[in-house]
Amino acid sequence: MFGKIKNYAMKKLLDKQLKNVPADQREMIMTMVEKDPALFEKIAKELQEETKKGGNQMNAAMKVLPKYQKEIMAIMSPEMKEKLMKQQMGTQGQFNPNGSIKR
């Protein structure tokens, strides 16, 4: 019983934290968290510890998330991986070699 309540609370918390994230990315994150909540709970605890040490959230994420990259990729569906690749490819090629923005 508490498992369902805990999952519901975690889902609500994630919704609040991800309110500014695009819907497709938010859905991808929520799906991964539902597949392996223990992994993301572990990641969240490490992120919290890092921010308590005096770092900001971005620095904590850059330090903690690479440790779990294999596990995160393992729970991603092929569709999620494809979507992620498209997102990353979309950010490439938007700049000229001198750093100016392509039009």
Rounded-to-integer distance, Cα 78 and Cα 3, Å? 28
pLDDT top residue among 68 and 5: 68
Average pLDDT, the chain: 82
Ordered DSSP codes for the chain: -HHHHHHHHHHHHHHHHTTTS-HHHHHHHHHHHHH-HHHHHHHHHHHHHHHHTT--HHHHHHHHGGGGHHHHHHHS-HHHHHHHHHHHHHHTTSB-TTSPBP-
pLDDT, tens digit (0-9, with 9 covering 90-100), for 29-45: 888 888 888 898 899 89
Predicted confidence band of residue 96 (pLDDT cuts 50, 70, 90) = low
Identify the band that residue 26 occupies on the pLDDT scale cut at 50, 70 and 90: confident
> What local confidence, expressed as pLDDT, does residue 67 receive?
94
Nearest one of 20, 17, 67 to 43, comparing CA atoms: 67
